[in-house]
């Protein structure tokens, strides 16, 4: 029964993720007219997809005794996916939405190579950082996988319109819409794999 429930949760979270992706894209790019509303709903959509993608990871893993840990991790991933857009304002050196949207190029954190480097660096360093957090910080064990989920979900959602930006190569890899949806559906599985790998590394470091 537990395995069946796990599979049902896994399928349900993926279905909701897919529907949310398609609906938010239609809403932002076909329905809304106000530039301000488009920017706000677009950012909220990034948070929604990041959170749902991580919810699928939690539905599959079910590692923690307390469900609140799952809720907090999901909220952190959602916020991180949303906060990536703050680099627009940093690059514009202004809190003006008009200035943030008028940048000649995408800001640094929107480079998929930079994002990959950040995730890889965290995955290498985290097993050595985790022991200092003690038992109270054990719920943050999948932090590298959480960062991957936040960054990848954001970049993938941008990719079907602008491609995956590979700065400093300064080249964008085109991603057709069906491929974007497929990669988004595969993202939770990749995050689960990273979680397992980093957890093994943490266990080895602490023993």
Chain segment 84-118, per-residue pLDDT in tens: 999 999 999 999 888 888 888 899 999 999 999 99
Q: What percent of the chain has pLDDT over 90?
A: 63
Predicted confidence at residue 63, as pLDDT, reads 58
Predicted confidence at residue 155, as pLDDT, reads 97
Mean pLDDT for the stretch of residues 130-154: 90
Are the C-beta atoms of residues 45 and 28 closer than 8 Å to each other?
A: yes
Rounded Cα distance, 70 and 59, in Å: 9
> Is residue 51 predicted with pLDDT exceeding 90?
yes
Predicted confidence at residue 62, as pLDDT, reads 60
Place of tokens 């990034």: 46
Place of tokens 């069906």: 178
Torsion angle in degrees (nearest 10) through CA of 131, 138, 47, 40? -70
Average pLDDT, the chain: 89
Tokens for 207? 């023993």
> Is residue 26 predicted with pLDDT exceeding 80?
yes
| Residue 207: pLDDT band with limits 50, 70, 90 | very low
| Residue 1: pLDDT band with limits 50, 70, 90 | low
């Amino acid at each position: 029964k537990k395995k069946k429930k796990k599979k049902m949760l896994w399928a349900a979270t993926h279905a909701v993720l897919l529907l949310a992706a398609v609906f938010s894209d239609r809403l932002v790019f076909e329905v809304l007219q106000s530039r301000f509303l488009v920017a706000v709903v677009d950012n909220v959509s990034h948070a929604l997809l990041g959170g749902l993608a991580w919810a699928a990871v939690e539905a599959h893993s079910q590692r923690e005794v307390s469900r609140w840990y799952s809720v907090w991790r999901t909220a952190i991933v959602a916020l991180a996916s949303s906060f990536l857009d703050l680099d627009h304002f940093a690059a514009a050196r202004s809190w003006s939405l008009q200035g943030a949207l008028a940048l000649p190029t995408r800001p640094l954190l929107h480079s998929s190579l930079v994002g990959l480097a950040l995730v890889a660096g965290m995955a290498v360093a985290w097993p050595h950082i985790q022991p200092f957090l003690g038992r109270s910080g054990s719920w943050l064990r999948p932090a590298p996988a959480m960062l991957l989920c936040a960054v990848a979900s954001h970049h993938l959602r941008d990719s079907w319109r602008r491609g995956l930006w590979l700065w400093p190569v300064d080249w964008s890899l085109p991603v057709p819409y069906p491929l974007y949806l497929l990669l988004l559906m595969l993202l939770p599985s990749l995050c689960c794999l990273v979680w397992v790998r980093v957890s093994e590394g943490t266990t080895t470091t602490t023993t």
